[in-house]
Amino acid sequence: MWFDSHAHLDDSKYDQDRHEMLMRAREQDISLIVNVGYDLFSSQRSVTLAENYDFIYAAVGVHPHDAAEAGPEGIDEIRRLAGHPKVVALGEMGLDYYRDLSPRNIQQDLFRLQINLAIELNKPIIVHDRDAHGDIMAILREEAGRLPGCVLHCFSGSLEMARECLKLGFYLSVAGPVTFGNAKKLREVAAEVPLDRLLIETDAPYLTPEPHRGKRNESAYVAFVGRRIAELRGIPPEELAAATNENAKRLFRIK
């Protein structure tokens, strides 16, 4: 049974067939999904989705793209949503220096605010990092000893960065790009991360793995990610599925 540890299934791309898409995931042995908010509205939708499906859990948070618009009221709303019994993490949060849709200092301030909220609420965090490895690691090093748990989602850093994250006690999550032909660095990471610290995800509707690349992603396709990693590690897919399932349940405290 596979666990899709990061998806955005509340996205409008699923408005015409969301239930059917979720049933396909169940038919493909997807046991659990964490649907991840990226702003206040998507965080609210994630909670609603988790209420409607027993195999879906939610994370609530504000993506760095929206940092400039969050404000104190946004943090208060995330705190309120995080009190729901099916909210298992705060996120996604972090830094994105690729698109720079919010000023970098404001991204960093919001990242720290959400980290402090996660510590206050005793919830793990889901970290977004795009072209911001140095500042992400600087902030996480400061907070590592206080964090209730941390996963770097859709990991895109180097093997050296991965090793430092592991030393800090974090999990690393690998998504569809591991199936791409030009993903040599990511394949090295996926092959080396200890099996008890590895998660897999779709980031649906984005980052669709081979052989469906170019189409809308969905949770059923997390199996393609898992099978490719199992192949890289030389282990049966069932072993990879069982380990990543248990890892995600441990990080998100799902019994």
* Contact (Cβ atoms closer than 8 angstroms) between residue 74 and residue 93: no
pTM: 0.97
Q: State pLDDT tens for residues 143-167.
A: 999 999 999 999 999 999 999 999 9
Query: Which pLDDT score, from 0 to 100, does residue 71 have?
Result: 81
Report the C-alpha gap between 19 and 85 in whole angstroms. 22
Widest Cα–Cα separation across the chain = 49
**Mean pLDDT along residues 60-86:** 94
**Mean pLDDT across the stretch 33-56?**
98
Which CATH number is correct for 2-252, 3.20.20.140, 1.10.10.10, 3.40.50.150, 3.40.440.10?
3.20.20.140
**For the purposes of burial, counting CB atoms within 10 Å of the CB of 237, is it exposed (0-12), middle (13-18) or buried (19 or more)?**
middle
